[in-house]
Structure 1
Amino acid sequence: MHTAKKNAIDWNSPNALEQLAQHIRNPLETIMNVSKNGSMYDKQRIEQILFSSSKEISDIVEDILVKAKTNALSLTYHDRPDIFHIYESNENVRKMCLGELQPQKVAKKDQDWLVNLEREVYGSIRQEYLDLNELSYKMAISERQLHRKILNLILLTPNKYVRILRLHKARQLIDSYVQQSVSQIAYTVGYRDVHYFSKLFAEQYSISPKQLLDSSR
């Protein structure tokens, strides 16, 4: 039986609500399971499980209240593009860029544009082939302009950019226990070839998704 990792929610992530729901659902499912199958446990064990699960939920609620009071919590898309955080925290991603990315020098309007672009990518992330022409249409620019703008702003080709976001989403799914198998994770982020997905994931995170998934159990 899994329990939520304390402080594992990335509050700045586009899927913070999804992570939050999963972290609350885990202890709730434990409580419901004990209530349904109480005869399987002695009274002391039931009390321990109920207390532990209730404490998890209480800690999450407390964390939400603290962040809300300090204006540090946003459960919508954050003003700062995910790609900046990914770049700053991942040496392998930095090596994929055609030069040194300097997020602090990217204008606010361009950051907003990148946030909207990420929203479109995440919204279509289950698609095996993300059509760049369709993506450019949603962003109200030509495909050539899309290619040039992504390259100018984050020093990546659109295909590499989309791949990085797919694998970033996969990492979040593992960290937040949303999926329980490598194949499920791969399909969720648009990869039908699980071996290829695992290869790309290892290149980006220096660990295979299976190893990471096993270590989180």
Structure 2
Amino acid sequence: MHTGKQSVIDWNAPNALEQLAQRIKNPLENIMQVSQNSGTYDNYKLESILFSSSKEISDIVEEIIQKARTNALSLTHHNHPDIFGIYASNEYVRKLCAREILPHKVAKVDQDWLVNLEKEVYGNIRQDYLHLGELSYKMAVSERQLHRKILNLVYLTPNKYVRILRLHRAKQLIDTYLQQSVAQIAHAVGYTDVHYFSRLFAEQYSISPRKLLCSLR
């Protein structure tokens, strides 16, 4: 019987569908096995296995839904990096940048690179820690080059840059009514600590996610 926490699906991998099928197959086999041999389990163990397997399937479904929502939001993106619009509309982000971002002075090839970088960040945004080594691998540059290029283009460290994008996506989820609670929003953008997420969100947008949610209802 399969047990243990499942790994996160790598949606960019060629075998993403195979990973998804295997993720669903394992808990389903658990449910089928205990159903066929229910007489060999005491009630507590039976309920425990059924609950954990059902919860596992529920989590997989939620991950699929979130991926679909992320893709839907991505379809609205234009050819300019999101960071430019965030910078222009957000005083807090402007203060974080070491220098003024001037989009018209950023070459088209560099803008395209930033757009692709944002796609990688958004595609893995549910991870509570987005490893820069993995991100640099996806962008076909060294970790040092990634750090230097982000700093040269948007005058931010990679960690600050990723955090800004996480919180930007969180605000999109609130504005488009795609999540119903602060905990769901925090989880959707990779924060397991809801209080920490709320503090960061309030710093960037001068309003707590809870208050923003309530104001839109």
TM over 0.5: yes
Q: Deviations over 1:150-180 (max 9, x none)?
A: 0000000000000000000000000000000
Q: 2: CA distance between counterparts of 1:145 and 1:162?
A: 16
Stretches of structure 1 that go unaligned for 5 or more consecutive residues are 1-14, 20-73
Q: 1: CA distance between counterparts of 2:99 and 2:108?
A: 21
Partner SS, residue 128 of structure 2: coil
1:93, 1:204 within 8 Å by CA — same for their partners in 2? yes
1:132, 1:143 within 8 Å by CA — same for their partners in 2? yes
Q: CA deviation at 1:16?
A: 8.4
Q: 2: CA distance between counterparts of 1:159 and 1:16?
A: 21
Q: 1: CA distance between counterparts of 2:141 and 2:70?
A: 29
Matched letter for residue 152 of structure 2: N
Aligned residue in 2 for 1:101:
101
Aligned residue in 2 for 1:139:
139
Matched letter for residue 194 of structure 2: V
Aligned residue in 1 for 2:200:
200
**What percentage of residue pairs aligned between the two structures are identical?**
74
Q: 1: CA distance between counterparts of 2:77 and 2:214?
A: 30
Runs of 4+ off more than 4 Å: none
Stretches of structure 2 that go unaligned for 5 or more consecutive residues are 1-68
CA RMSD of aligned residues (A): 1.5
Aligned residue in 2 for 1:186:
186
1:98, 1:156 within 8 Å by CA — same for their partners in 2? yes
1:135–1:196 CA distance, 2 compared to 1 (3 A): same
Q: CA deviation at 1:17?
A: 6.3
2:70, 2:122 within 8 Å by CA — same for their partners in 1? no
Q: 1: CA distance between counterparts of 2:163 and 2:70?
A: 20
Q: Deviations over 1:37-70 (max 9, x none)?
A: xxxxxxxxxxxxxxxxxxxxxxxxxxxxxxxxxx
Q: 2: CA distance between counterparts of 1:118 and 1:17?
A: 13
Q: Deviations over 1:5-42 (max 9, x none)?
A: xxxxxxxxxx78635xxxxxxxxxxxxxxxxxxxxxxx
Partner SS, residue 94 of structure 1: helix
Aligned residue in 1 for 2:21:
none
1:154–1:80 CA distance, 2 compared to 1 (3 A): same
Match of 1:18 among 72, 81, 95: 72
Aligned residue in 2 for 1:174:
174
Q: 2: CA distance between counterparts of 1:147 and 1:82?
A: 18
1:90, 1:205 within 8 Å by CA — same for their partners in 2? yes
1:76–1:180 CA distance, 2 compared to 1 (3 A): closer
Partner SS, residue 202 of structure 2: helix
Q: 2: CA distance between counterparts of 1:89 and 1:122?
A: 20
**Larger relative contact order (Cα-Cα within 8 Å, sequence gap ≥ 6):** 1
Q: 1: CA distance between counterparts of 2:201 and 2:102?
A: 24
